[in-house]
Chains A and B, each alone.
Chain A
Amino acid sequence: MAPVESPPRKAQTDDRLRVVGTSLPKVDAVAKVTGRTKFADDLFLPRMLHCRMLRSTTPHAEIVSIDTQRAEEHPGVVAVLVGRDLPTPYGILPVSQDEHALCIDKVRFIGDPVAAVAAIDEATAFEACELIEVEYAPLDSVADIEDALDGDDPAIHAYGDAHNVHKVVALEFGDVEAGLADAHLVQEDLLFYEGNTHLPMEQHAALGDYRPDDRLTLWSSSQTPHYVHRALATVLEMAPSRIRVIATPNGGGFGGKSDPFNHEIVVAELSRRTGRPVKICLNREEVFYCHRGRHPTLMWIKTGFKQDGSITGMHFRSFLDGGAYGSYGVASTYYTGALQTVTYPVAAYKFEGLRVFTNKPPCGPKRGHGTPQPRFALEVHIDKAAEKLGLDPARMRLDHLVEPDSVTANYLKIGSMGLGACIEKVVAESGWNDRYGKLPEGKGLGLACGSYISGAGLPIYWNNMPHSGVQLKLDRGGGVTVFCGSTEIGQGSDSVLAYVVAEVLGINPFEIDIITADTSLTPVDLGSYSSRVTLMTGNAALQAAERARELLVRSVAEKWDVPGVRVAMADRQVFDVQDPECTMTFAEAVVLAESKFGTIGTVGSYTPPRSPGRYRGAGVGPSPAYSYSATVAEVSVDVDTGETHVDDVWIAHDIGQAINPVVAIGQVEGSVYMGLGEALMEEMTYRGNRNIVHHHPSMLEYKSPTTHEMCRVHTYLIEDPDPNGPFGAKEVGQGPLLPIPPAIVNGVYDAVGARVDEVPVTPQKVLAALKRKAKQEEPREGPKKAPQFVWPEAIQVPPPWAGGDGRARDERREIGGGGVRK
């Protein structure tokens, strides 16, 4: 069976790229289409036990007692765990160690786990969970942002910047009030982005296998095996050297498998107690409770524009509903204020943000992590301003683009910047200039842009080590094995490693062995999040491959007695560029090198460049490179039912350099799809009153786009290479989602002349806006007012053009003093 073709096999001496930039199959594609890929729940070990977890049925309560005796006595039950068995807290961020594997004293949302059972099969474990008796003393619960800020309810956590407020941020770069005073137009808007969830097709699963010689292996559908490794060592109080975490290929991640999870720790501990492998696979309802998805976010934005559309100053506030735990929330909060400055120059910028705790499943990072909400707000806001200024929304953006190789007001270093080319492409292809504002009632076009990081500039826990490492092993048969901690979640990370190494060594990517995501076998890569993998593992792989190439070239040059510069490698051959007849195979070159140097192994690593920002909070936002996207969406709105359908999306994405175009297009189309779902239907919502029961924790009722709702997508890859990317590559997995919701919402306005300042744009909201329009009221549906909150004085950071050096004006002053006003 040879289903995949080799890349072009013309032995040539030119410098053209042979693998990079070519649309090849992914290296794991055959395994996936034949059902051979082993996901976590596909693993079965001899003597394996099955785990179920008992979860809270009340949103906020103290645990008075837990009686597990009947469960322990139930036939087939081997072990039962409760919270006090795992007393050490953990959490993904060092500043938010607020989770326990099982709740000890109180529960904080419906679904919070309180006990776990290991039994001979899943049905028995399920039965045993029903025999556990938990007595709760209910507490008043906190339902949403407004509820959290009213200060009436008991504290969900004992820590935070204010009562039930996890984090408060206030930063100002330049004099925003002066900027607003200079403006021709001051536009002010209030918008809301409802929470939604990743809904990966694969339910989370984990398998722990502890041996009596005190060694533990955990297989898990995790995007971040390195962080799971650290959390296990902490909570189980085991030396990390005794723990091996293997991330199985993820059946979809989208950020939802990026936290260390309670069920991972629980099966590890149950295996330690029973001496047998223990597996758990969450059911779909439990996946909704794991969540870590998009934060519901209320946003207030006030911007000053000159008559030509340039921005004199911007003041942005975000209120995030964090749910019951910290998760990545501190970073999420900063991200809602970080990237407003990287598309259009903002002369002065002020950001205030806060994240509240509520009694709901915890929010965290979902595709775009904290940036789709503010991008939605900003792009709708600009659309409104363009109308008031009498400017074409595309022209207004094109006329005011951030310069490449510049530094923004908040000290983000921009490298390559292809947004202008992206806008021009979608404007031309969609017929924007002839059709915008001119389509019949019910049909509309909307335009929006976006930008995203290609990996975060700083790691999650402070250290000076590389963010990504690659080891390369060459054997005398010509085999090459790549070892890297990166995690394949469907985005093609294993393939990127193969393509980069194959390009440098002139070999066939499908003959390379890729070993990834195994903390015992592979050097650390921080994980598949923040769109970091192609850039960071790509650079690490590039360095390792170039070092291996150097060893081969020196060996061959010595043999041929020619200078090293004359030795080239391509198409599985090594040859003399001045004498193409002089060749040997790649394997022969490896034999020469191994004879000269001994066993051939090389390493490569990648650490992002240091960011110019030095103020507190400057750690969120910097990236080695920023991707850019522009979109035009064509929508149809049924004015009788209020239903919105997206017909076509034209999207251009500045990817720097596509390592594999067909895989990149797949990422763009998938991002459009997910943005479409968020814009039109997806929402994590809860029943009212104070019960906070999830409306619809099932795939049927949590509406996500099927084939019938998906739109046509016209994808254009814009290649503006970035010097920090491997071969110039930037990210593509997340950025293309960002412009989709605002483009659709702007399109709805073009279609029916009514504004829905809130996603998802449900038929009810459209009809409400249309009803107001019919009554000659403001044709708008959306949030009415922002909660009252006394913001602390902002940290003042002069922007680069005001003589700033990236530091706060008074570095010693810490943020604080924020509070709740009733």
Chain B
Amino acid sequence: MRHPYPVDRLGFMAPSSNAIEAGAYVSLELRVNGELQAVSVPVHKTLLEVLREDIGLTGTKHGCELGECGTCTVLVDGQPVLSCLALPAALEGRDVTTVEGLESADGLHPLQQTFVELGAAQCGYCTPGFVLTAKALLDDNPRPSRADIETALGGNLCRCTGYLKIYEAVELAAARMRGEPGEPTREMLYGAG
């Protein structure tokens, strides 16, 4: 469909001329964090852009917009997806989960809680992508080995932590989600020796 707004030199409502020339707009309903969101967007606009710019969910970050860094990871039907490479038109009827959808009435998700306790979020920019990727892992494998975690998180880049606190946070959250007592060790909080 064509976008109803005219192209106006000063009209901030107007979509890009590129999109109008292409005439390629789609109206669709996305289910994000359990809520239906009606959007009308250029067909080439990525899920990343629609989440951030049209739905206002800026918790999803971006580091390359080329599918190289994992920062923009969201879950689609529980599986990690790079939102910078996903098109909303292909996602109608699917369940999209962003970092904003992780909290519940009980508070933070266990992964969010352990990331807080262990300092696994430094600048915090890659954190939403890591937490969501780790959630997909733990939902599938409640007792992952360190190697399983390294493999699952291998597509997410972090420049601050060296990944180690992230591993510990995932392991601690996994223990808590299994109902085991999960307390940080002294070494995690105060170093070796």
Contacts and interface: CB of A to CB of B under 8 A. Distances in A.
> Do A and B originate from a single complex?
yes
A42 B112 contact: no
Given A35-B100, A429-B193, A698-B64, A75 B7 contact: yes
B17 A127 contact: yes
Interface string B101-122: 0110001100011011111011
Interface stretch (A200-208, A210-218, A233-241, A306-314): A200-208
Given A34-B108, A490-B160, A717-B190, A251 B124 contact: yes
Contacts of B24: none
B17 A25 contact: no
Contacts of B153: 707
A121 interface: yes
Interface stretch (B8-16, B85-93, B136-144, B174-182): B8-16
Pick from A75, A198, A717 the residue with the most CB of B within 10 Å.
A75
A432 to B, nearest CB: 14
Interface in B17-35: 17-19
Contact of A75 (B9, B112, B116): B9
B127 interface: yes
Contacts of B164: 669, 710, 713
A123 B16 contact: yes
Contact of B98 (A35, A490, A673, A710): A35
Interface string A459-494: 000000000000000000000000000000111100
Nearest to B99: A35
B98 to A, nearest CB: 7
A717 B61 CA distance: 33
Interface in A584-628: none
Contacts of B115: 29, 33
B124 A123 contact: no
Contacts of A122: 16
Interface in A712-765: 713-717
A802 interface: no
Contacts of A490: 122-125, 160
Interface string A9-48: 0000000000000010110111111111111011010011
Contacts of A39: 61, 125
A120 to B, nearest CB: 5
Interface stretch (A387-395, A408-416, A660-668): A660-668
B4 interface: no
Pick from B53, B69, B160, B163 the residue with the most CB of A within 10 Å.
B160
A666 B161 contact: yes
Nearest to B125: A251
Nearest to B109: A33
A44 B66 CA distance: 23
A666 B122 contact: yes
A202 B125 contact: yes
A168 to B, nearest CB: 34
A201 B123 contact: yes
Interface residues of B, number: 72
Contacts of A28: 124
Contacts of B7: 75-76
B32 to A, nearest CB: 13
Contacts of A700: 64, 66, 68
Contacts of A665: 119, 165, 189-191
B162 A710 contact: yes
B126 interface: yes
B108 A30 contact: yes
A39 B155 CA distance: 22
Given A251-B123, A717-B190, A201 B69 contact: yes
B163 A124 contact: no
Contacts of B124: 28-29, 31-33, 37, 249, 251, 490
A176 interface: no
Contacts of A1: 103, 107-108
B123 A203 contact: no
Contacts of B60: 35
A669 B162 contact: yes
A249 B123 contact: yes
B17 A699 contact: no
Contacts of B126: 201, 251
Contacts, number: 230
Interface residues of A, number: 82
A23 B120 CA distance: 13
A706 interface: yes
A35 B102 CA distance: 10
Given A699-B157, A710-B163, A716-B192, A121 B15 contact: yes
A284 interface: yes
B95 interface: no
B75 interface: no
B81 interface: no
A284 B64 contact: yes
B18 A123 contact: yes
Contact of A32 (B9, B66, B118, B127): B127
Contacts of B59: 34-36
B71 interface: yes
A61 to B, nearest CB: 28
A34 B16 contact: no
A706 B157 contact: yes
Nearest to A489: B123
Given A3-B108, A37-B124, A661 B190 contact: yes
A666 B161 CA distance: 6
Contacts of B165: 665-666, 669
B123 A250 contact: yes
A780 B182 CA distance: 50
B159 A200 contact: yes
A729 to B, nearest CB: 16
A34 B127 CA distance: 9
Contacts of B57: 35
A25 B18 contact: no
Given A1-B108, A75-B9, A698-B66, A33 B123 contact: no
Given A252-B123, A708-B154, A201 B10 contact: no
Pick from A203, A276, A425, A670 the residue with the most CB of B within 10 Å.
A670
A662 B118 contact: yes
B64 A670 contact: no
A4 interface: yes
Nearest to B7: A75
A565 interface: no
A359 B150 CA distance: 39
A710 B149 CA distance: 13
A636 to B, nearest CB: 17
B128 A35 contact: yes
A49 interface: yes
A704 B162 contact: no
Nearest to B42: A123
Given A25-B116, A29-B115, A29-B119, A716 B66 contact: no
A76 B112 contact: no
A25 B119 contact: yes
A629 B22 CA distance: 59
Nearest to B6: A75
Contacts of B52: 42
B69 to A, nearest CB: 5
A4 to B, nearest CB: 7
Interface of B: 7, 9-12, 14-19, 52-53, 57-66, 68-69, 71, 98-100, 102-103, 107-108, 112-113, 115-119, 121-128, 131, 149-151, 153-165, 184, 188-193
23 contacts: A3-B112, A29-B115, A33-B99, A34-B99, A76-B7, A76-B9, A120-B12, A120-B16, A123-B16, A123-B18, A201-B126, A201-B158, A251-B126, A252-B159, A429-B192, A663-B119, A665-B190, A669-B161, A669-B165, A673-B162, A673-B163, A700-B66, A715-B191
3 nearest CB pairs, A to B: A35-B59, A490-B123, A32-B124
Given A3-B112, A23-B190, 11 more contacts: A4-B116, A35-B60, A198-B159, A201-B61, A429-B193, A665-B119, A670-B161, A673-B163, A699-B69, A700-B64, A707-B149
